[in-house]
A and B are shown apart, each in its own frame.
Chain A
């Protein structure tokens, strides 16, 4: 039999996954942005037939930061990747979340590279996109997201589903405020036209933050 105080002390560090997940998410986002930057510098160098001193230094700094982010992600990786015991269903649900993150990363990188080819900047640019790339990315989103969501929902436990559900409800409320307010202010010429991806990012961020918060509180 274990002493309760020892048990509590041992598990205090594991109790809150919020900071850990937030750290991994932030570093992952920075990592993807840096990979996009490196791709851009390399493509520009290929077009110009060489790399300037400034470009070379920026590239080295970016690669160092990528290594730093990767190290941080490994250090902060969620406990389920460190080999703690877990049921098969919990493991499947966690890996679906990892797969969703990987899918987002691949789509982001694809859009970055495709955008650079058209002299567009950034993953969320509204610029023109090759029809082939658009169809491939849309197919990936339309097919994989419902499949992964269904599989996750079939395997996640009730606590995880509640945290996700709470996040989704609050995100829906945020959307129901942002979308009509922006539409009205745009009609009054007070703000620029509505950006679908900005609204999407806001809503999805609220969902994710509330989800993590509910898991930790």
Chain B
């Protein structure tokens, strides 16, 4: 699943480790989500959306449309 996590992170000048700390996951987990190798669970997707104060669909794109 495509996502804008890296762009949103760069806008805030956060490293993957810093974002991981804010989301309570590892740096590797952030990297896997950013690169589309891991689709986050619904609870984690909501945590990401709340952190960036955006709707989930503005961050993640399931490419079905």
Contacts and interface: CB of A to CB of B under 8 A. Distances in A.
A207 B50 CA distance: 35
A87 B24 contact: yes
A2 B38 contact: no
A87 B25 contact: yes
Contact size range, A = 20 to 34
Contacts of B17: 79, 84-86
B28 A160 contact: yes
Contacts of B18: 85
B26 interface: yes
Interface string B22-34: 1111111101110
B44 A90 contact: no
Nearest to B7: A4
B21 interface: yes
Contacts of B22: 87
Interface string A8-24: 10110011010000000
Contacts of B27: 14, 79, 84, 86
Interface of B: 6-7, 9-13, 15-18, 20-29, 31-33, 35, 37-38, 40-41, 44
17 contacts: A4-B10, A7-B9, A8-B6, A14-B16, A84-B27, A85-B17, A86-B20, A86-B21, A87-B22, A89-B24, A90-B26, A158-B29, A158-B44, A159-B26, A159-B32, A160-B26, A215-B32
Interface in A80-101: 80, 84-87, 89-90, 93-94
Chain A to chain B: the 9 pairs with minimum beta-carbon distance, closest first: A159-B29, A157-B25, A84-B17, A87-B24, A90-B26, A85-B21, A87-B21, A2-B10, A85-B17
